[in-house]
Amino acid sequence: MSEANVPIIPGYHGENQDENFLFDEAKKLGFPIMIKAVRGGGGKGMRVCLTEEDFFDRLNSAKTEALKSFNDDKMLIEKYVERPRHIEVQVFGDEHGNYIYLFERDCSVQRRHQKIIEEAPAPGLNDELRKKLGTAAVNAAKAVNYVGAGTVEFVFDSLTNEFYFMEMNTRLQVEHPITEMITKTDLVEMQFNVANGEKLSLSQNDVQINGHSFEARIYAEDPSNDFLPISGKINYLSEPEVCDDVRVETGVRSGDEVSVYYDPMIAKLVVWSKDREKALKKLIKELSNYKITGLTTNIPFLMQLASHKKFGEDIVSPMPGVVEKILVQEGQSVKKGETLAVIIAMKMEYLIKSNKDQVVDKILLKAGENVAKGGKLITFIN
């Protein structure tokens, strides 16, 4: 990908899997670093390593999980992005060498490393940065002579506005409707036409952003119980009224059983409006129009999330997380910028740092416990 002018996150992606060799590569990058399973996905086989002392424990933990999940414990080492956003670009290619991008989606709001609210276009990007993302995505598709619909995913560094290739999904994504809403296209129809050997009907200049769109994934799960999947009968289901600006994609109705043997996602709610603020208000309104009895869903949680002040201000992931690691002890003196804890709240883990020189008073949570939005982890002696 680097030869195709697609930004690659600094790291080691080679065949040598000797632990000491990987350790040397990690030291060249400088800590903290990310250890990732080559065949990984959904956060499995992925660990943040903050210090040299933790490296071998984190490596072995990632390898064990990767072997169980993918039957392959091959690892790569990458620079750790401390303030990441998950931004992906929709691309299309045909058999005649034509390629376009249909702009980007921000999928940073996640739980258990799975997307729950997506939006398009990504907030806070200027036209120049948006074009760079799209061009890099098309370059990635061209590099492999890709034909059809694809999604090129990037890790976007919120601190520097740099972005790095993460992976390419060779299919339409669950969240593709928000791209259709802002570009007024039918991506499924385009797929069929390209598969039939036809040329793309659109040039890059034909693709324009029109308004803003959100998608919320409706899950049968209990957010108050670590997002535990819920099974059972849907006694009653009433959905928002569908129109040009509101789509509901679902496979269930009143009387259906939600089985333990399938993914707990039961519907997708997609809304569109002229700008982000109006689209967000519409999302909240249409979520409130859902009526489901018989089992617990994440709809109240989605409404709370979409209503959060910081989410409305374009700050991503104002959501609960899981304490991965506490790195300090009660009574310990810490310096400004020193890492205190690691929280899993998005596609990657977050480092919680001290905002000044101070002394730890009480540690209120331990590794493995949930932390709510705004919840206290550590108190300090004033």
How distant, in Å, are the alpha carbons of 78, 115, 163, 351 from that of 84? 14, 14, 9, 11
Q: Considering 83, 85, 130, 171, which one is annotated as catalytic?
A: 171
Task: Give the closest residue to 228 by CA, choosing from 301, 287, 174, 307.
Answer: 301
- Cβ neighbours of 358 (radius 10 Å): 17
Which residues are CB-neighbours of 296 under 8 A, at least 6 positions away?
Answer: 220, 221, 222, 230
Query: How many Å separate Cα 346 from the centre of its chain?
Result: 6
Alpha-carbon torsion (318, 320, 324, 325), positive or negative: positive
How distant, in Å, are the alpha carbons of 36, 96, 150, 179 from that of 199? 38, 6, 16, 20
187-195 and 176-183 helices, crossing angle to 10°:
100
Please give the structure tokens belonging to residue 268. Answer: 């997708």
Q: What order do you get walking across the sheet with 46-49 strand by strand?
A: 11-12, 75-79, 33-37, 46-49
Q: Mapping DSSP to helix (H, G, I), strand (E, B) and coil, where does residue 123 land?
A: coil
171 catalytically annotated: yes
Give the integer Cα–Cα distance in Å for 35 and 37: 7
Rg of the chain (C-alpha set):
22
- The residues that are catalytic are 171
